[in-house]
């Protein structure tokens, strides 16, 4: 991991098959009232189905199992407090995305905000995610039960946050503490789905290969995949894979926050190309919606929360982007310099264990540790900053700025043992 780091419904396929019948069967015969009625029913049904799956005219989307959910939600990353969740729901949002990872989310606060909003639980789609440190049949089931209880007896969409652990996410001893792997957790999720504790299941932070592997393994195929999607990082191949398997795609960081977490300027909100079509934030979200993604923008601004909640007005998308505009935005994908990827090696030249911390926007995050004479290698980005501290000390004794070289080595030596090299 790096630090931080439209599918056809069964009913649509049925209509498609009917539309391939001989023309004589689809054309009302003069003087045959019953055939004319059937024709009108057919055309009305077809139009309704097309509108239902058209993001311009439908603020909801249907999953492969028939579950319907909103296309626009509120993302709770950054530990959104109950008052922001409540505000989003009062503004009209009917989907909230949270997680069990208390490093970035506060699932309990999301539940509190839902209760405080006065909106009926049945009217809100709740998405939450399993922390990879809780992989395993028994552990995952326990955490599913806890989330279901927290949100009134069930969860609408339950995802695996990551398929695997790493030191910085699950702790340096995770190999000894994590019960099982993603396969065990998926079986637990399938059982919970069978029992009605969750209405849909899926995964987050995966690539096309992982989706293909999951589909082969699963008894109940994933309904939702959640991943990073913005105009400069459009996840095209992943979305194609989801479409192939009739999986709905949910986009996070559509407003460019992943770039900011890499220590770079936000290219989405500052894009002159997006500004040609209107407010960059609303344009980016509308582009993603028109590419059949569900969006979950995060904001702690009451004004922005309200604006995002009104991306649809009267069931119609308020930002009109024609085919030329969509293609122009599509063309932004991959245009940013990708050479900012860096492999950073931290070699401990001291005589005590050293803890490494990534200095993220929400505070320090432990990403690994190195015994004396050992090294830790981390995939990161230019501009990121790390710190080193001893296990027995709370304060860091050195900080390290990631430069432009594709591979960089930092010699770490605590000051009590001599100068840091």
Q: How many CB atoms lie within 10 A of CB 362?
A: 12
Q: What is the DSSP letter of 404?
A: S
pTM comes to 0.72
Greater model confidence, 210 or 38: 210
Burial code (b: 16+ CB inside 10 Å, e: under 16) for 331-345 equals ebeeeeeeebebebe
Residue 16 is predicted with a pLDDT of: 28
For 216-248, write each residue's pLDDT tens digit.
999 999 999 999 999 999 999 999 999 999 999
CA distances (Å), 29 to each of 35, 39, 40, 280, in order?
Answer: 6, 10, 12, 52
Tokens (6 digits) for 186: 């998926």
pLDDT at residue 151 in the model = 98
Residue with the bigger pLDDT between 396 and 229: it is: 229
Among the listed ranges 52-56, 104-108, 384-388, 417-421, which one has the minimum average pLDDT value?
A: 417-421
Per-residue pLDDT at 35 exceeds 70: no
Q: pLDDT (tens digit, 9 = 90+) per residue, 147-180?
A: 999 999 999 999 999 999 988 889 889 999 999 9
Q: For residues 18-33, give the mean pLDDT.
A: 45
187-192 average pLDDT score = 98
Pairwise CA distance, residues 351 & 18, whole Å: 74
């Amino acid at each position: 991991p790096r630090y931080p780091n439209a599918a056809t419904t069964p009913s649509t396929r049925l209509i498609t098959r009917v539309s391939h019948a001989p023309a004589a069967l689809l054309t009302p015969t003069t003087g045959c009232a019953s055939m004319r009625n059937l024709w009108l029913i057919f055309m009305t049904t077809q139009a309704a189905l097309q509108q239902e799956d058209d993001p311009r005219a439908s603020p909801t989307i249907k999953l492969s199992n028939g579950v319907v959910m909103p296309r626009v939600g509120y993302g709770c990353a950054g530990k959104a407090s109950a008052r922001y969740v409540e505000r989003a729901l009062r503004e009209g949002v009917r989907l909230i995305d949270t997680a069990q990872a208390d490093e970035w989310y506060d699932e309990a606060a999301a539940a509190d905000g839902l209760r405080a909003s006065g909106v009926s639980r049945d009217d809100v789609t709740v998405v939450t995610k399993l922390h990879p440190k809780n992989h395993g049949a028994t552990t995952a089931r326990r955490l599913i039960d806890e989330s279901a209880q927290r949100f009134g007896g069930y969860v609408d969409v339950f995802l695996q946050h990551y398929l695997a652990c790493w030191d910085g996410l699950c702790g340096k001893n995770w190999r000894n503490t994590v019960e099982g792997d993603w396969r065990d957790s998926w079986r637990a999720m399938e059982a919970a789905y069978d029992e009605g504790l969750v209405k849909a299941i899926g995964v987050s932070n995966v690539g096309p290969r992982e989706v293909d592997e999951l589909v082969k393994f699963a008894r109940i195929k994933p309904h939702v995949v959640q991943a990073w999607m913005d105009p400069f990082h459009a996840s095209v191949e992943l979305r194609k894979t989801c479409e192939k398997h009739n999986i709905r795609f949910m986009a996070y960081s559509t407003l460019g926050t992943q770039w900011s977490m890499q220590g770079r300027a936000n290219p989405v909100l500052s894009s002159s190309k997006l500004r040609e079509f209107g407010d960059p934030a609303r344009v980016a979200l509308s582009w993603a919606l028109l590419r059949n993604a569900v969006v979950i923008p995060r904001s702690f601004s009451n004004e922005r929360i309200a604006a995002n909640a009104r991306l649809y007005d009267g069931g119609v998308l308020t930002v009109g982007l024609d085919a030329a505009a969509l293609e122009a935005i599509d063309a932004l994908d991959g245009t940013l310099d990708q050479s900012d990827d860096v492999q950073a090696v931290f070699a401990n030249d001291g005589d005590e264990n050293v803890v490494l911390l990534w200095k993220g926007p929400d505070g320090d995050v432990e990403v690994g540790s190195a015994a004396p004479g050992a090294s830790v290698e981390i995939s990161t980005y230019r501009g990121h900053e790390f710190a080193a501290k001893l296990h027995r000390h709370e304060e860091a004794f050195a900080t390290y700025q990631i430069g432009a070289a594709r591979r960089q080595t930092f010699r770490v030596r605590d000051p009590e043992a001599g100068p840091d090299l």
